[in-house]
Amino acid sequence: MLSEKLHKALNAQINAELWSAYLYLSMSMDAEAKGLKGVANWFYVQFQEEQDHARILMNYILSRDGKVTLLPIEEVRTEWASPLEMFQDTLAHEKKVTAMINNLASIAAEDKDYASSNMLVWFVDEQVEEEESAREMIGACEAVDGNKFGLYMLDKELAARTYTQAAPLASTNA
Ligand code: MG
C-alpha cells in the first residue's frame, strides 16, 4: 500500500500534469489563432504528452490498490505576446513540476517505498528533457529575434514535431 502522504501527493501530481496539459493546449490555441501552425503543433504534442504523464500516475496508483481522486483544474492563461513568452512560461512551469517530482521522490525514499522510487525515475529523467527542450526553444526564439522570415522558418520546423506515446504506457498499452 502507498502511504497516505505519498498517495495524496501522487493525486496532486495528476492534477498538476492535467493542469500542464491544459496550459499547453491554451498556448496551442493562442498560437493557432495567430497563424503560427507549427508553434500550435508543438504545444499540441506537449498537451498530449502531459495527458500521458497523468495516465502513468493514474495507472500506478491503481496498480498499488489506491484510488485516484481527480481535483478541479485551475484556469490557465489564454494569451501570450510571442512564442518566446510561451516558451519562457513553459520553462518556468516545468521547473515547478520538477520540484514537485523531486518532492515525490523524497517522500518515496522516506517511506522506503522502492516500487514508487522506481516508477518516479522515469519522471525525474523526463523533467530533465522538458527543461532542456524549453531552454532550446527559448534559444531558437531569441535567435529569431523578431525577424519575420526567421519566425516563418522556425514555425515550419515546429510543425514537424510528432506525438509518441510515453514509454511506460507503450509497454502496458493503457
Ligand atoms: Mg509533465
| Amino acid at residue number 133 | S
Q: Which CATH number fits domain 4-167: 3.90.550.10, 1.10.150.20, 1.20.1260.10, 3.40.50.300?
A: 1.20.1260.10
pLDDT digits (tens, 9 = 90+) for 112-161: 999 999 999 999 999 999 999 999 999 999 999 889 999 999 999 999 99
pLDDT at 174: 56
| Amino acid at residue number 105 | A
C-alpha cell at 156: 515550419
Q: For residue 54, is pLDDT > 80?
A: yes
pLDDT at 170: 84
- 99 by Cβ neighbours in 10 Å (0-12 / 13-18 / 19+) ranks as exposed
Q: How far is it, in rounded angstroms, from Cα 49 to Cα 68?
A: 19
Distance 153 CA to ligand 1 centre (A): 27
Q: What is the mean pLDDT of residues 92-98?
A: 98
Q: How far is it, in rounded angstroms, from Cα 55 to Cα 50?
A: 9
Distance 98 CA to ligand 1 centre (A): 9
Q: For residue 172, is pLDDT > 90?
A: no
Distance 136 CA to ligand 1 centre (A): 17
Q: Per mean pLDDT, which range of 65-69, 163-167, 169-173 is the poorest?
A: 169-173
pLDDT at 95: 98
CB 141, CB 31: distance < 8 Å: no
- 146 by Cβ neighbours in 10 Å (0-12 / 13-18 / 19+) ranks as exposed
- DSSP state letter for 73: P
pLDDT at 146: 87
